[in-house]
Amino acid sequence: MNKFKTLFLVIIESAIAIFILYYLRPVLLANDNYEISSILPILLDISFLAIFASFGARLAKVFNVAPMAGKIFLGIIIGPALFGAIDPYAQGVEIVRLAGIFFILFEAGLYFDLSILKKNFGSNILSTVSATLVQLALFSLVGYYLLHLNWLPAVFLGGIFTATSLGLSVSALKAGNKLHTEVGDKILSIALMSNIIGMLLLTILGKFLYGGAEFGDIFLIALSVIGFLFVAFIMWSFNFIDKAAKYLDQHYVTTSTGSYTRFFFGALILACALTSAIGLEPILGAFGIGLILSKMDHKIKSEVWTKIEGYMHIFVGGFLVSLGTMLGRESLLNYHTWLYALIFVILAFVGKCFIRFFYKNKREGILIARATTIRGEIGLAFLAIAIFNNVFTESLSASVLLAIVLVSVLGIILFEKEIFKQTRVEPSELGEGI
């Protein structure tokens, strides 16, 4: 009964929000005041994307699926596919999409625990690299031979499905009481390594995508990415953030965490801008600064994160909703869209499934394989960039997005079922994830 009540309320709230948008936007755009006609519609889109993200999270809770799925679904409902309340290419929506990618990778960096990675690096490196290469090859070959894509879109398709979602993995491990366990550390280290490989791929493919690279440049690009990550690692090792925190304590107000919050936000945007200026993908800067800031004193980081989380809910939630708005009605009604999505889901599970054979403990191997099928932030960032640059057709973009959602939802369900099978303990409610 409570589920029906929640579903009814979400429908009513969404309908009211859509009506407000239909009424307000034309009125604002027709206003003679420049700020009202140009700036306020941008802020309106940003705020309503965040509101619809909240509705999507509640909807996901009703059906007990990952919040990511509910938010993307709400985007489909309010986008051109159905009501057309949000223009997917409006300036405010594009700002949210870009900022959302930055915050997703920033959070991934903050989750990056090098102590876990170092402890499990030797035992997981072979399985991670093998699974990543198999996944990349499977999707690239399907893209090239079955979908008749050129080599760049085909490899881009493979890159989308390489990485494991760090945020959703953490949420799933928390729900299954496996976060601070040996198998939990192994799962996180695999997710961390696959994210690094994913970002390396994205940076290389981005260079080809923008027409600024040739095959001979791959080594130099890879070297630049590794060099950047090495600099971030050095800054992490020498605890750069601790020195910055002491400077802030010495010269700014210490009665609140306001200076830290502003520093976090400013450092994120600066890092994205700097990596763009030197010819690398800005998401690499977002991830790198997250990694550096991850070593901040736990108490300070927790207090600051409570405030930064507000930006996360606005921009990351809005990013997920905005992806849904990019799916058109024709692509969703095209049977090829669903057929290819099904093929991608099967390949996504097959590509990660064999990782279980790298572990002597059969039960542990199955649990790791189930956890690593969960996709998320890197894949969505890949897809967003592909959509921005028309790498895929609208129908193929829809197939990829549907596949990421389905793989993540099914991956979490299978992971939780495996936990229950092994421990007989029911997993708790899944957190926001991303």
Rounded alpha-carbon distances, angstroms, from residue 195 to 163, 284, 287, 384: 5, 11, 10, 16
Residues of the chain with pLDDT under 70: 1, 112-123, 166-167, 171, 175-176, 179-180, 209-217, 253-257, 297-307, 376-377, 423-434
Asked whether 136 and 159 are in contact (CB, 8 A), the reply is yes
Token code pair at residue 283: 């998401």
pLDDT score at 12:
92
Which of 372, 348, 344, 345 shows the shortest CA–CA distance to 358? Answer: 372
CA atoms within 13 A on the CB side of 167: 23
pLDDT score at 100:
87
pLDDT digits (tens, 9 = 90+) for 329-359: 888 888 889 999 999 999 888 877 777 777 7
pLDDT score at 132:
80
pLDDT score at 300:
64
Helix axes 258-277, 282-293, angle to 10 degrees: 140
In the DSSP assignment, the letter for residue 309 is H
Task: Please write down the HEC assignment for all residues of 9-64.
Answer: HHHHHHHHHHHHHHHHHHHHHCCCCHHHHHHHHHHHHHHHHHHHHHHHHHHHHHHC
In the DSSP assignment, the letter for residue 164 is P
Token code pair at residue 334: 């095209």
Quickly count: other Cβ atoms within 10 Å of residue 8's Cβ.
Answer: 10
What DSSP letter does each residue of 168-216 carry, written as one string?
Answer: HHHHHHHHTT-TTSHHHHHHHHHHHHHHHHHHHHHHHHHHHHTT---GG
pLDDT score at 183:
76
Asked whether 377 and 387 are in contact (CB, 8 A), the reply is no
Asked whether 189 and 120 are in contact (CB, 8 A), the reply is yes
pLDDT score at 412:
79
